[in-house]
Amino acid sequence: MHVHLDVIGGIAGDMFCSAMLDAFPELESPLQTFLATLPLYQSYSFKLNEKKQKEILGKQFIICKNDQALQDQNHLVFTVYTPSKSATIAKKLISQEHHHYTWQSIQQKLQQISHCPDIYQIACGVYSLLAKAESEIHGMALADLCLHEVGADDALLDIISAAFLIHHSQICTWSCSALPWGNGIVNCAHGALPVPAPATLKILQGFRWSQDDEMGERITPTGAAILAWLINNHGAQLSGSLTRHGYGCGRRQFKHKPNILRANVFETKTNTVIQDTVMVIQCDIDDMTAENLAIAQEKIRSQQGVIDLTSQQFMGKKGRWSTRFELLCKPEQLEAVCQSILLQTSTLGVRFWRTERIKVVREHINIDAQNQQWPLKIAKRADNSVTVKLEADTVKSLNTSYGERQRLIANIEQQALAQYTRSSTGENHE
């Protein structure tokens, strides 16, 4: 499937969730169940209300704390900035209480969803775009960065909810319309900022923009990061047959147009492969022991954003046997991964380049067998065959002999394939 996002009024984290839940109403209950398992969510809940924007009926996703709707911190407070308002704005900014959230504390909270690797990867990818943009704008290292509005719990829950909906809607590709520029000044913890906010512009470099007569902030940093993650990783041209659509409503009312985000869902030809963009990183090492190389390899592999890491031996300069590390990583994690390589190895530099890849469509499932949950990866191939593999970390943790392990793996994978086949063909079973 393909989704084209019509950014009519704008986009924010809550508007994206609203539009997706309007288009995929069957995901509302699973999202509630998923969020209820998170320690972060215990004081929170969400409401999905109906709302009209210029006589268009849509949905509004609202995060509540102790059943009270929160003032949306993702939308910065907007004002038309004129000299006569300068003093008023300054007093308001001084009197506001702002909380500070370190990048490390946000990463720790995201660990609450690490048991769902696909959702975790999306949420981390979106937040990494936000953090990197903020660090570059303020000239600070990520370790020293403090986030304000986008670090609050409601923003975190918006992004986690968006990641859940992106994953479970099973959309393969995304596209978007030109983005509305907006106008004026926004008030936030950093003071009065021009519209679009600096972080928003940084994240959305390369996107098409348009100007209309509506004032205010139209694209929030959270909305920008979601959009950039989708288009940069899974962007494609609009195609297919329209099957459903959803309207996500913003909180503000505009003078001339509805403040909505529309998600248009298209059924495309069945495709067993998808294309995305990754970074390839290489480095050569000729002065580390085998033991230290193994340690470095494991530490680098565990770095967030690393997709794969391989090593090979070759004859290097001056007749020395050398080791070459080659990694694949997400584009938004390039800097962090390169820093990890330079810290964990003796290499003096790395090479990297951007490349496209085509991969088989896959998904992650869990099945119950032998009184425990087993995570598996399922791949769909061009001849309609399906292959099932138990996750490597689970295989590694099995405390059995080789023969027992192979029999157990075969049994679990056969059960998973049978279960997946029944669900794919629509059979009802207990």
Do 418 and 339 belong to one domain? no
Mark whether 28 and 153 lie in a shared domain. yes
Number of domains in the chain: 3
d(CA 197, CA 221): 7
Residue 29 confidence (pLDDT) above 80: yes
pLDDT greater at residue 235 or residue 260: 260
Q: Does the pTM exceed 0.85?
A: no
Asked whether residue 428 carries a pLDDT value surpassing 60, the answer given is no
The whole-number pLDDT of residue 75 equals 42
What is the percent of the chain with per-residue pLDDT over 90, rounded to a whole number?
Answer: 41
If asked whether residues 32 and 106 sit together in one domain, one would say: yes
Rounded mean pLDDT, 212-216: 84
The pLDDT tens digits for 248-287 are 999 888 888 999 999 999 987 666 677 788 999 999 999 9
For residue 81, tell me if it sits in a domain. yes
| ∠ Cα 381 383 384 (to 5°) | 65
Decide which of 309 and 135 is more confident: 309
Residue 142 in any domain: the answer is yes
What are 35-76's pLDDT values in tens digits? Answer: 988 888 888 888 899 998 988 999 999 988 876 665 544 444
Is the sign of the CA dihedral 397, 400, 402, 408 positive or negative?
A: negative
In the predicted model, is pLDDT for residue 237 greater than 80? no
Domain-terminating residue out of 267, 286, 301: 267
Q: Check if the beta carbon of residue 345 is closer than 8 Å to that of residue 288.
A: yes
Statement to judge: residues 237 and 379 lie in one domain: no
**Rounded distance, CA 9 to CA 262, Å?**
9
Q: Are both 326 and 184 inside the same structural domain? A: no
For the chain, the average pLDDT equals 84
Q: Are residues 257 and 297 in the same domain?
A: no
**Residue 315 maps to a domain:** yes
Q: Which of 67-76, 79-88, 186-195, 342-351 is least confident? A: 79-88
Expressed as residue numbers, the domain containing 248 is: 2-267
Q: How far apart are CA 268 and CA 270, in angstroms?
A: 6
According to the model, what pLDDT value does residue 223 have?
94
3-state secondary structure 109-152: HHHHHCCCHHHHHHHHHHHHHHHHHHHHHHCCCHHHCEECHHHC
Question: Which of 333, 360, 387 delimits the end of a domain?
Answer: 360
The pLDDT, as a whole number, for residue 99 is 59
DSSP per-residue codes, 223-240: HHHHHHHHHHHHB----S
